[in-house]
Structure 1
Amino acid sequence: MDTVFVMATTVPDDGTRGPGAQWVIAEPVIAAIAARAAVGVPGVARLEPGLTGLASQVARSVRQKINGLAPAPAEGVRITVDHSAVPSSLSASIDMVASGHDQAGAVGRAVQREVTRAVADATGLAPQAVVVSIMDIDLYGTGAW
């Protein structure tokens, strides 16, 4: 895989990384995993950030560029992780544009399955919910009629 994801860990006081170590995967990392999985589903024309998503994207991009990092694309994806639960619970919201050449409902279900699989494989946490919102249907952009 050509993408490197940075995760934070807390290490026990003695400096070892044994059973007491805890890995915390930040929401932007999970969002990038979910975004990559969603755009790979046939019938997804693109992810579509809303106004909230655009504001978050700009703030995250500026923060990452200041730190010298290349931002991973995560537009149109919102991740919520509840770390107070044991184990942590995770939910994802995907805003997308579907191709006009596929059934929107079938594409949405495929996105739910693929995002669930990709996030669980990468993080070990299976999302409790993956909500897919189809914001638009792209009738002409993905092929000729």
Structure 2
Amino acid sequence: MTTDAFSEVRVEAPVVAAVAAQAACATPGVIRLEPGVRGLVSSLVRVGKQRLTSADPAPSEGVRVRRSASGALSVQVDVVISADRPASVVGHAVQQEVSRVVFEQTGQMVDEVSVTILDIEPEQQ
């Protein structure tokens, strides 16, 4: 039996943020994500909501996701990188990896990935 009914699948921002965080952390040159003050506040709110519903929160500190009224998806990532690679190369790689992995795992197209490099740690000797 077939049906012509369509249903909408919408992946919520916390899920997209967790996927984006994993993708950013897996990018060569990224040491870690940094939440910053704004990220800490939103992270505490998200974790509180998930704990109230007995859900284990996926780590997404340092990532913020916004969806515009038109449905456009914007991801902001705050990272600390290693000094052994140029910042522009790492930033661009994070943009590409976040866009690719979010689409692969959620089916959601990312319209914009903004990367803020908060620190560059010296090379390990």
Whether these two folds match at TM > 0.5 is yes
Alignment match, 2:35: 49
Which structure shows the bigger proportion of residues in helix conformation?
Answer: 2
Cα contact 2:50–2:56 (8 A) shared by 1: yes
- Higher relative contact order (CA closer than 8 Å, sequence separation 6+): 2
2: CA distance between counterparts of 1:19 and 1:25? 20
1:18 offset after TM fit, Å? 6.0
CA contact (8 A) 1:98 1:136 kept: yes
Identity within the alignment, %: 41
| CA deviation string 1:36-72 (max 9, x = no partner) | 0000001001001111110111111122122111110
Specify the code of the residue in structure 2 equivalent to 1:99: S
Q: Which runs of 5+ in 1 are unaligned?
A: 1-16
Cα RMSD (Å) of the superposition? 1.5
Please tell me whether the aligned partners of residues 31 and 79 of structure 2 are also in contact (alpha carbons under 8 angstroms): yes
User: 50, 62, 69: which one pairs with 1:64?
Assistant: 50
Alignment gaps of 5+ in structure 2: none
Q: How does 1:1-145 map to 2 (within 5 A)?
A: 19-82=5-68, 84-85=69-70, 88-139=71-122, 143-144=124-125
State the TM-score, normalized to the length of structure 2.
Answer: 0.91
Q: Tell me the TM-score normalised to structure 1 length.
A: 0.79
Provide the aligned length of Structure 1 versus Structure 2. 123
Distance in 2 between the 1:18 and 1:133 partners?
Answer: 44
